[in-house]
């Protein structure tokens, strides 16, 4: 038995304006990915410099956690502040022209 899938229209170009919630969801994904990448990169650079006067085992978890949380919070705060510019840009241009694969349900109603 196949469940009935709603009818959708597919397109590859759209003019959109994300809500704050959707904008922050996208920013959260990017922020977590960036924070992980920077944390691993800094951790690799710190461990590749050979012997250190600091006992890395004692502060390793603290530094890693603080680096991750710091970058994550900074990126999310930046995204929240940049939403104001994004919203103004979209209002002026009547949305942001984007390309990709978009599916719009035919019977959809706007949700706020």
pLDDT at 1: 44
Please give the model's pTM, rounded to 2 decimal places. Answer: 0.67
In-domain check, residue 66? yes
In-domain check, residue 53? yes
In-domain check, residue 87? yes
> For the chain, what percentages of helix, strand and coil (3-state, to nearest 5) are there?
60, 15, 25
In-domain check, residue 5? no
In-domain check, residue 6? no
In-domain check, residue 34? yes
- Domain that includes residue 22, residue range: 18-105
Please state the domain count of the chain.
1
Q: What is the pLDDT of residues 2-18, one digit of tens each?
A: 555 667 777 888 888 89
Residues whose CB falls within 8 Å of the CB of residue 68, separated by 6 or more in sequence, listed in order: 35, 36, 39
* Alpha-carbon 14 to chain mean position: 20
Q: Count of H helices and E strands in the chain?
A: 2, 2
Q: Give the span between the Cα atoms of 41 and 7, in whole angstroms.
A: 45
pLDDT at 20: 94
């Amino acid at each position: 038995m196949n469940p009935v899938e709603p009818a959708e229209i597919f397109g590859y170009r759209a003019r959109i304006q994300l809500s704050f919630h959707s904008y922050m969801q996208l920013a959260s994904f990017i922020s977590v990915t960036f924070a992980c990448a920077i944390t691993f990169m800094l951790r690799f650079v710190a461990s590749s410099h050979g012997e250190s006067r600091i006992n890395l085992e004692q502060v390793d978890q603290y530094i890693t956690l603080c680096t991750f949380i710091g970058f994550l919070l900074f990126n999310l705060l930046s995204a929240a502040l940049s939403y104001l510019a994004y919203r103004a840009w979209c209002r002026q241009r009547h949305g942001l022209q984007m390309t990709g694969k978009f599916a719009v349900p035919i019977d959809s109603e706007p949700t706020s």
